Amino acid sequence: MNIDDIITLEDNVEYMVLDIVELNQEKYLYCIEIDSEERPKQEYKYFKEVIEDGVLYTEEVEDPNILETIISMLTMNHINDVKNEEQDV
């Protein structure tokens, strides 16, 4: 999975992958649910990418400490992005 991919889960709900961070060799996805027209809905999700027996799964992050860490990392990514953009302008 990559940033900007649209993933469809087994319940047929689609998510846009907004960002990905790595922590302890695990990939964590920051996603938002989208509608049929690919507009964002109100559901933001933080998934862990799990590959088991060759099948790709997402698992919602439950551990508040992990969540807090990846949110910090995502926040850092975000401000770095906007800073870069600001410099590019």
Partner 1 sequence: MNEEALKETLLDIMDEARNLDASELEVIPGTNILVKKGRVDEFKAYARFYFQLANHVPTVGNEDYLNIVFDSLKEEMVDAKKMAQEEKQEALYTVNKNEIERFNKLQNSLNTNRSDQDRYRKLLEELSKKDITDTRVWQEITNLQNTLATLRENEIILKNAMIDVKNKVNGEVKKVIEAEMATIRNAYLNAKRGTNTSFGLDNASILANDKETYDNLYILLKIIENVNEKDPIICINNTLCVNPHQEDAVKELLPKIDLLHIETKNKKEEKIEKPNDKLIKDISKELDRLKELIAKAKANKKEKATLEKEQEKLIRVLNYLNKANEQEFALTPIWDIAYVNGPDREAFINLIKTTSYFHGYDPDVKLMEENEKLIKDLKDYLTSLEDKVRNYQGINNIPLTKVNDAIIMPEDKEEYENILAIINILTSSKDNLYKVSEGGNVSYQDLAKYKELISKTKYFAPKVSEEEKIANQNKEVEKKIEAELTELIKRAKNTPNALLAEGKEILASDLEEYNLLSEQYKMLKSVDANEALVEVNGALINAGKELEYRNLLDNLNDLQTKRLSNETTVTPLTNSEQRSDYKENSNEALVNQNTQEEEVEPVPSSEPKEIVSTEKLQSNNQEQNLVEPEEDVVQSLLDKGLGAAKKIGEKLGKRKAVKAIRKTKKKEWWQKHKKQVILIGLLLIIVSMNLSTLVPAMIYANSCLAQAAPLLSGITGAINHSLASFVGGIGAINYNIAAGYTLQAMLVALGKIGVIGLSSFAVMKTLLAKKLESVPDRLPDPFKKDLIDKIKEFSHNVVHDRARAKEQINSAGDTLKEAGMNAVYNIDSNNINLNKELMNEKMAYDASYTEAYPELPASINDNDLAEAQERIDERARHMASELNSNFIEENPDILSTVNNNLDEALSSSPKHMKEETPVEFASRVNSNLQKATEKLDPEARHMKEEPTELDIENLPTNVVKLPAEIPDDWDMYLLENAKEESRGR
**Residue 20: is it exposed, middle or buried by C-beta count within 10 angstroms (0-12/13-18/19+)?**
buried
The answer to whether the CB of 7 falls within 8 A of the CB of 26 is no
* Contact between 19 and partner 1 per CB under 8 A: yes
Minimum Å distance from CB 68 to partner 1?
4
Bridge-based pairing of strands 14-23 and 26-34 is: antiparallel
* Contact between 53 and partner 1 per CB under 8 A: no
Can you give the binding site for partner 1, defined by CB under 8 A?
1, 3-12, 16, 18-24, 30, 32, 37-40, 42, 44, 46, 50, 55-69, 71-86, 88-89
